[in-house]
Amino acid sequence: MAFEITLTTMIIFFFILAVGFVAGKIGTIKQEFMGSFSQMITKIFLPALIFYSTTSSTTRQMVFENYWVLILAAGFYFLITVVTWLLARFMRLPHDKDRIFQFAFIFGNTAFVGMPLLAAVFPDYGLFFMCLFSVVDQLVFWTFGIWLSTARDRQAARFNPKKLLTPNIMAILLALAFVLLDIQTPSIINNALGTISKATGALCMLYLGAMICFSEFGSVLKRPEVYVGIAVKMVLLPIAVGLLLMQTPLPYEMIASMTLVIALPVMTVVPMIASANGHEGDYATGIAVVSFIACVVTIPLVAFVVL
């Protein structure tokens, strides 16, 4: 059942993504609007989706019973860090492509792909699991991830705790506070947030389609490590971890959600961070775009094998 829903969702996402691509080509979505488009999604629509989905389907007992998500998230980041480091060494990637390769394939697109996908596949539990996962995800991204993205000839960026207070993390913390304190959201506000949430998945795919349209990634298509990274991170690793977790007594929805999270394509902000902190922005953009295109096939494949 989960495979059919995942496949259907990814096909729908693909068609909406194609609409975004065409909209970029014909000028309906303009390149100079992309920054504002991204800000609108990340600062309004995704936080609304997180808060609404969590508070409307989560209980205090669920939070205490699913602490395993935090442990699985920490274990995943340790595993993927080791795997991508070994791959970069094995393929002898030059400086600073080795770090950007790791940076790209460690951090999946939880916001623009993961949240809409899990909301569609597991409407009752998916975003709750994603919220718990994101607590670890954001902490690792804004510390270790920023270090990876910083070129070796530049002074390593200092950790700024304020960067952890993203709109998504604030929405997660606020939603968990409402759940733990058993605070009920007024129905009129809840209905408004629900209406906003329904548009989030489509807007994310439109943005990604336009991003593909405006990206120049031809040179990256010739680099073999991109395909190795996609095969390992987006296919082999989620299948191996998913099948292993299926042998444990953990809830099916948790295992399925974590499997899909591991299979996600490259995080959207990776190219922007790589450009700001080093010299491999185009390389990171190419990896991100190719992974977005590939996930239309790889995510249903992982779901078919594991779920």
89: three-class secondary structure by DSSP? helix
Alpha-carbon distance 80 to 140, whole Å?
12
Tens digit of pLDDT for each residue in 114-132? 888 888 888 878 878 887 8
Tens digit of pLDDT for each residue in 23-66? 999 999 998 888 888 888 878 888 888 888 778 777 778 778 88
Q: Residue 155: which pLDDT band, with cuts at 50, 70 and 90?
A: low
Highest average pLDDT, of 3-17, 60-74, 222-236, 279-293, comes from: 222-236
Q: Residue 2: which pLDDT band, with cuts at 50, 70 and 90?
A: low
Rounded to an integer, the average pLDDT of 86-97 is 88
* Number of domains making up the chain: 1
Rounded to an integer, the average pLDDT of 132-139 is 81
* Average pLDDT of the chain to the nearest whole number: 84
What percentage of the chain exceeds 70 in pLDDT? 95
Q: Is the pLDDT of residue 144 over 70?
A: yes
Give yes or no for a cis peptide into 182 (omega within 30° of 0). Answer: no
The encoded tokens of residue 171 equal: 């929405």
- 78-87, 160-169, 186-195: lowest mean pLDDT where? 160-169
Tens digit of pLDDT for each residue in 259-304? 999 999 888 778 777 776 777 777 888 888 889 889 889 999 999 9
pLDDT value, residue 56: 77
Alpha-carbon distance 283 to 298, whole Å?
21
Rounded to an integer, the average pLDDT of 85-111 is 89
Q: Residue 161: which pLDDT band, with cuts at 50, 70 and 90?
A: low
- 4-13, 218-227, 273-282: lowest mean pLDDT where? 273-282
Of 192, 168, 187, 174, the closest CA to residue 58 belongs to 174
Looking up residue 286, the CATH number of its domain turns out to be 1.20.1530.20
| Structural domain that includes position 290 | 2-306
Amino acid at 141: F
Alpha helices per DSSP H over 59-152:
60-65, 68-90, 97-106, 115-121, 126-140, 146-149
Q: Residue 96: which pLDDT band, with cuts at 50, 70 and 90?
A: confident
Rounded to an integer, the average pLDDT of 147-159 is 67
- 69-78, 208-217, 221-230: lowest mean pLDDT where? 208-217
Q: How many other C-beta atoms lie within 10 A of the C-beta of residue 192?
A: 14
Q: Is the pLDDT of residue 81 over 70?
A: yes
